[in-house]
Amino acid sequence: MLFALSSCKNKPTETVQTDSANKKWWKEAVVYQIYPRSFKDSDGDGVGDLKGIISKLDYVKSLGVDVIWLNPIFSSPNADNGYDISDYGGIMKEFGTMADFDVMLKAMHERGLKLVLDLVANHSSDEHDWFKQSRSSRTNAYREYYHWWPSEKGKPPFRPGSFEVDGSGWRFDSLTNAYYLHYFSFKQPDLNWENPKLRKEIFDMMNFWFDKGVDGFRMDVIPFISKDTSFPVITQQILDEKYGGGWDHYQASGPHLHDYLQEMNKEVLSKHDVMSVAEGAGVTASTAHHFVDEDRKELNMLYHFEGVSLGYLPGKFKQMDPKGYSLVEFKKIYSKWDSVFAEKGWGTIYLGNHDQPRMLSRWGNDAPEFREASSKLLTTFLMTMRATPYYYFGDELGMSNIKFDKIDDYKDIESINMYKQIQSKGGDLKEFLEAQKIGARDNGRTPFQWDATPNAGFTTGTPWIKVNLNYKKINVGAEEGDINSCLNYFRKIVQLRKNNKVLVYGKYELLDKENPKVYAYTRGEGAEKIIVILNFSKEKVDWSLPSGLTVDATPLLNNYQTIAVSGSISLEPYQAVILKVK
Ligand code: TEU
């Protein structure tokens, strides 16, 4: 579809912006991420849809969150579940129609909920009309919308293709005797941002959605949009010396990236009161400011990968170190990222999303005796850091990894193609499948658990991916009625964050940084100060308050019924407690 020029309809705002220039609604917001495919199916085809979301907006509102981020809902052949868009102006047919979208957006706004969509602009689907045109002849008007390498120049220098069995990011296309670039699967050709016409198409498309009233975009692999289009040979030595060994850093460091983001800000973002968040693949603590410093006029926030990468064995695909992860390292990473934005810019915090396993299984403990406590502990961490929390649907219930035994149960292109790759190299498939029980993305994509009826109340049909068998116990219906459930704990802590802005803006100070079991920190200064104490272990731990620090004996929040506070605090396994400092 063609996009008209923006009329900036939603520029004037009635947002929660506070008086000081540094306080913004998106800093104070809690973002709730919904994977639409797995949230609620309204028509029995086994795939979640927009009408399903509409039917559950009162539930979302009841959580107290402010913003809903939806993974891509645009037309797509679903090679990568919507991250391969064939029409940026259309709604995926399994999800509904544009009329459903309009009803959904209105229903969200009526409830005071904002909507953030997913901008997938590094690549399109190979079924997008632009690509069909582009591949049709070397002289087609859309040829320069993508990156082509004519075969008379020989084979192009290696670039990785994340979801390809042979690992290559170039695919030969016999129609025009040339290779095209795809950093992900061959179904996801990379768009050529060097071409101003392409950039204008993307900006018009963004304005189209903002004019409809959408409140922001999460930007998929946005650091990848700029690349060195001379495609030099990159050796391992160059990667090691210049890019810390990783392709992601090379791919994310395109020469014109920040020109394009500034242009996007000027042509689109600055015209609307919206939020923007970059998926910061390859972004480091030293490059983060280039994206989010206000005076650069680019984006508002980004999320990094350093935290979620911790604990995997180097060189092995998502295989956990058998020793688990080090809490001391975990603290170091999150404290460093707090300090990155202490003076300027603003951070985000997340432990789960559609690319990650369930936070409970990865960072907590999903054994029945520890599930509730450790799930609440992780929620406490996310809701008490100085950053905008991005909270993944289902984590409020304490949902856990499904841990498939067989490759046939997986639906994700990443797991399936990685399996084939390992198979083609004669690698250890058993080891891979074991590792996937921890790390696979499908663990976080199973249907939301509404109640104890068949398929967890997600669908009346056959779900597109299996439902976790623990749904009979772990579901909204069961947790609504239990004041101590994970669900009700989440509601309480969201309110606590809303009522105590010190949890949003207050200074973060790490305590007892070498303690391998306890993560403790204060938020705020002087008269307004809160201490958060988290026992990340399955053992009881005695922890002493720092000398000179006294606290109110009645906690602001506690994931156990009791807490004994004197000079030292006896913490139960995975106990999380928030206290007011006197
Ligand atoms: O993810 C980019 C990205 O970094 C992932 O490929 C990540 O490395 C992988 O998921 C880890 O398992 C974004 C989207 O979030 C993801 O869902 C898409 O598959 C990908 O881009 C391509 O659009």
For residue 80, the ligand 1 atom closest to its alpha carbon is: 19
For atom 7 of ligand 1, the residue with the nearest CA is 355
pLDDT over threshold 80, residue 254: yes
Q: Examine the fold and report which residue of 471, 494, 517 is the final residue of a domain before the chain moves on.
A: 494
514-555 pLDDT per residue, tens: 999 999 999 998 889 999 999 999 999 999 999 989 999 899
Better pLDDT: 455 or 248:
455
Q: What is the pLDDT of residue 14?
A: 32
Q: What is the pLDDT of residue 5?
A: 47
Statement to judge: residues 564 and 457 lie in one domain: no
Of 380-384, 486-490, 566-570, the poorest mean pLDDT is in 566-570
Please report whether residue 190 resides in a domain: no
Q: How far is CA 329 from the centre of its chain?
A: 21
For atom 11 of ligand 1, the residue with the nearest CA is 355
Three-state DSSP class for 508? strand
The helix (run of H) or strand (run of E) holding residue 239 is: helix 236-243
Statement to judge: residues 103 and 138 lie in one domain: no
Top mutation candidate among 217, 320, 355 for ligand 1, by most atoms within 8 Å of CB:
355
168-192 pLDDT per residue, tens: 999 999 999 999 999 999 999 999 9
Q: What is the pLDDT of residue 17?
A: 33
For residue 353, the ligand 1 atom closest to its alpha carbon is: 15
Rounded Cα gap, residues 377 and 385, in angstroms: 13
Q: Rounded to the nearest whole angstrom, what is the distance from the C-alpha of residue 531 to the centroid of ligand 1?
A: 35
For atom 2 of ligand 1, the residue with the nearest CA is 221
Instruction: Give the count of domains, the chain.
Output: 3
Q: What is the pLDDT of residue 8?
A: 47
Give 524's contacts (C-beta < 8 A, 6+ positions apart).
502, 506, 507, 530, 581
Statement to judge: residues 256 and 337 lie in one domain: yes
279 among known catalytic residues: yes
Amino acid in the structure at residue 285: A
pTM of the predicted model as reported, rounded to 2 decimal places: 0.96
- Are the C-beta atoms of residues 292 and 300 closer than 8 Å to each other? yes
Please report whether residue 3 resides in a domain: no
Please report whether residue 528 resides in a domain: yes
Rounded Cα gap, residues 294 and 483, in angstroms: 42
Q: Rounded to the nearest whole angstrom, what is the distance from the C-alpha of residue 304 to the centroid of ligand 1?
A: 12
Q: What angle do CA 43, 448, 349 make, to 5 degrees?
A: 130
Q: What number is the average pLDDT over the span 362-376?
A: 98
pLDDT over threshold 80, residue 9: no
Q: Examine the fold and report which residue of 494, 514, 535 is the final residue of a domain before the chain moves on.
A: 494
Pull the structure tokens for residue 218: 């999460």
Q: How many helices (H) and strands (E) does the chain have?
A: 19, 21
Statement to judge: residues 46 and 99 lie in one domain: yes
Of 64-68, 263-267, 334-338, 568-572, the poorest mean pLDDT is in 568-572
Share of the chain residues as helix, strand and coil, in percent rounded to the nearest 5? 35, 15, 50
Please report whether residue 20 resides in a domain: no
Band (pLDDT 50/70/90 cuts) for residue 566 is: confident
Top mutation candidate among 71, 217, 220, 277 for ligand 1, by most atoms within 8 Å of CB:
220
Q: What is the pLDDT of residue 12?
A: 37
Q: What number is the average pLDDT over the span 243-268?
A: 93
Q: What number is the average pLDDT over the span 444-460?
A: 98
- Among residues 49, 100, 279, 298, which one is catalytic? 279
Q: What number is the average pLDDT over the span 94-99?
A: 98
Give 554's contacts (C-beta < 8 A, 6+ positions apart).
none
Please report whether residue 402 resides in a domain: yes
Neighbour order of strands in the sheet with 388-392: 301-303, 275-279, 216-219, 114-119, 67-70, 31-34, 388-392, 348-349
Three-state DSSP class for 206? helix
Q: What is the pLDDT of residue 316?
A: 86
Q: What is the percentage of the chain residues whose pLDDT exceeds 70?
A: 96
Residue in this structure with the two tokens 């976080």, named with its chain if needed: 444
Q: Rounded to the nearest whole angstrom, what is the distance from the C-alpha of residue 275 to the centroid of ligand 1?
A: 21
Rounded Cα gap, residues 163 and 182, in angstroms: 10
First and final C-alpha spacing in the chain = 60
Statement to judge: residues 135 and 119 lie in one domain: no
Q: What number is the average pLDDT over the span 14-42?
A: 81
Q: What is the pLDDT of residue 3?
A: 64
Q: What is the DSSP string of 146-187?
A: B-EEEGGG-SPPP-B-TT-TT-BSEEEETTTTEEEE-SS-TT
Please report whether residue 263 resides in a domain: yes
Q: Rounded to the nearest whole angstrom, what is the distance from the C-alpha of residue 355 to the centroid of ligand 1?
A: 6
For atom 18 of ligand 1, the residue with the nearest CA is 83
Q: What is the pLDDT of residue 393?
A: 98
Statement to judge: residues 411 and 465 lie in one domain: yes
Q: Report the phi/psi class of residue 492: left, alpha or beta, with left for phi > 0 and alpha for psi in -120 to 50.
A: alpha
- Are the C-beta atoms of residues 117 and 85 closer than 8 Å to each other? no
Statement to judge: residues 472 and 514 lie in one domain: no
Q: What is the pLDDT of residue 416?
A: 98
Statement to judge: residues 207 and 353 lie in one domain: yes
Band (pLDDT 50/70/90 cuts) for residue 202 is: very high
Ligand 1 neighbours, Cβ below 6 Å, are 80, 83, 120, 162, 184, 220-221, 279, 281, 354-355, 414, 441
Q: What is the pLDDT of residue 404?
A: 98
Please report whether residue 269 resides in a domain: yes
Other Cβ atoms closer than 10 A to 253: 18
pLDDT over threshold 90, residue 246: no
For residue 281, the ligand 1 atom closest to its alpha carbon is: 4
For residue 305, the ligand 1 atom closest to its alpha carbon is: 4
Neighbour order of strands in the sheet with 178-181: 148-150, 178-181, 170-173
Q: What number is the average pLDDT over the span 121-133?
A: 98
Q: Rounded to the nearest whole angstrom, what is the distance from the C-alpha of residue 220 to the centroid of ligand 1?
A: 8
Range of the domain at 160: 129-181
What CATH number should be reported for the domain holding residue 160?
A: 3.90.400.10
Q: What is the pLDDT of residue 245?
A: 77
- Are the C-beta atoms of residues 40 and 95 closer than 8 Å to each other? no
- Among residues 100, 211, 220, 442, which one is catalytic? 220
For atom 22 of ligand 1, the residue with the nearest CA is 83
Q: What number is the average pLDDT over the span 374-380?
A: 99
pLDDT over threshold 90, residue 573: yes
For atom 12 of ligand 1, the residue with the nearest CA is 355
What CATH number should be reported for the domain holding residue 560?
A: 2.60.40.1180
HEC states along 248-309? HHHHCCCCCHHHHHHHHHHHCHHHCCCEEEEECCCCCCCCCHHHHCHHHCCCCEEECCHHHH
Q: Which ranges of 316-370 does DSSP label H, i.e. alpha helix?
A: 327-340, 359-363
Statement to judge: residues 318 and 379 lie in one domain: yes
Please report whether residue 2 resides in a domain: no
Top mutation candidate among 83, 185, 310, 432 for ligand 1, by most atoms within 8 Å of CB:
83
Q: What is the percentage of the chain residues whose pLDDT exceeds 90?
A: 92
Rounded Cα gap, residues 153 and 160, in angstroms: 19
Q: Examine the fold and report which residue of 494, 514, 537 is the final residue of a domain before the chain moves on.
A: 494
Handedness of CA 15, 20, 24, 25 (dihedral sign): negative
pLDDT over threshold 50, residue 27: yes
Q: What number is the average pLDDT over the span 118-145?
A: 98
Statement to judge: residues 93 and 141 lie in one domain: no
What CATH number should be reported for the domain holding residue 386?
A: 3.20.20.80
Rounded Cα gap, residues 561 and 539, in angstroms: 17
Pull the structure tokens for residue 395: 């984590």
Q: Kindly tell me the burial class for residue 45, based on how many C-beta atoms sit within 10 Å of its own C-beta (0-12, 13-18, 19 or more).
A: middle
457-508 pLDDT per residue, tens: 999 999 999 999 999 999 999 999 999 999 999 999 999 999 999 999 999 9
Statement to judge: residues 361 and 435 lie in one domain: yes
- Are the C-beta atoms of residues 446 and 465 closer than 8 Å to each other? yes
Rounded Cα gap, residues 419 and 422, in angstroms: 5
- Are the C-beta atoms of residues 391 and 385 closer than 8 Å to each other? no
The helix (run of H) or strand (run of E) holding residue 576 is: strand 576-580
Q: What is the pLDDT of residue 314?
A: 87
Q: Rounded to the nearest whole angstrom, what is the distance from the C-alpha of residue 112 to the centroid of ligand 1?
A: 30
Chain mean pLDDT for the chain: 95
284-338 pLDDT per residue, tens: 999 999 999 999 999 999 999 999 999 999 888 999 999 999 999 999 999 999 9
Statement to judge: residues 146 and 54 lie in one domain: no
Q: What is the pLDDT of residue 315?
A: 82
355 among known catalytic residues: no
Rounded Cα gap, residues 571 and 536, in angstroms: 10
Q: Rounded to the nearest whole angstrom, what is the distance from the C-alpha of residue 218 to the centroid of ligand 1?
A: 13
Pull the structure tokens for residue 414: 């990443």
- Are the C-beta atoms of residues 188 and 164 closer than 8 Å to each other? no
User: Strand 568-571 to strand 388-392: parallel, antiparallel, or no bridges (unpaired)?
Assistant: unpaired
Backbone torsions φ then ψ of 525, nearest 5 degrees? -145, 160
